[in-house]
Amino acid sequence: MDHLSALAEGLGAALKARGYMLALAESCTGGMVAEAVTSVAGSSAWFDRGFVTYSNAAKIEMLGVSPQTLEKFGAVSEEVAAEMASGCLKSDALKNSHAQIAGSITGIAGPDGGTTEKPVGTVCFAWAKLNMPTLTTTQTFAGNRQEIRQQATAFMLARLIDRLNDLKI
């Protein structure tokens, strides 16, 4: 079993034990986290839905990300990641979500697109839970496009498990 599969199985066990459903919003990983999650047999018991919102328009239309947030901070920012994660839960953008916890990823996987302030490998993450503060962080990963995407996927899966454990619920 590879590393991503093991993490996805661990996440599934943690979610199932709590009776939670997960929603995901992904940009630079293009659905890689959702793919890892859905590779686990029985994941429909704990995975509600996933969004690949690669364009800014998709982030706005599907998740309710504010155009002003995108303009002020850029698509690769903790602020946008936070709005993406929150948009996966019950909101104006998604009235029918069954998820209680959500994760989001937005970043620059390369090989182009980086800047001095946000080099290739910069990835912003957020984790939201209903009625709890949203947590965010930014990581910088090294490697080629595929390696950066895989590292971001593994980071998301591991931090979702940590987030569930931190909630002590």
Degrees, nearest 5: CA angle 31-37-40: 140
Contact 165, 20 (CB under 8 A): no
Q: How many residues does the chain have?
A: 169
pTM value is: 0.94
User: 3-167 belongs to which homologous superfamily?
Assistant: CinA-like (3.90.950.20)
Residue 131 has a pLDDT of 84
For the chain, the structural domain boundaries read 3-167
Residue 89 has a pLDDT of 86
Tens-digit pLDDT profile for the chain (169 aa)?
Answer: 599 999 999 999 999 999 999 999 999 999 999 999 999 999 999 999 999 999 999 999 999 999 999 999 999 999 999 999 999 886 655 566 889 999 999 999 999 999 999 999 999 999 999 888 999 999 999 999 999 999 999 999 999 999 998 875 4
Please name which of 125, 97, 120 lies closest in space to residue 110, comparing C-alpha atoms. 120
Between CA 43 and CA 85 the distance in angstroms is 20
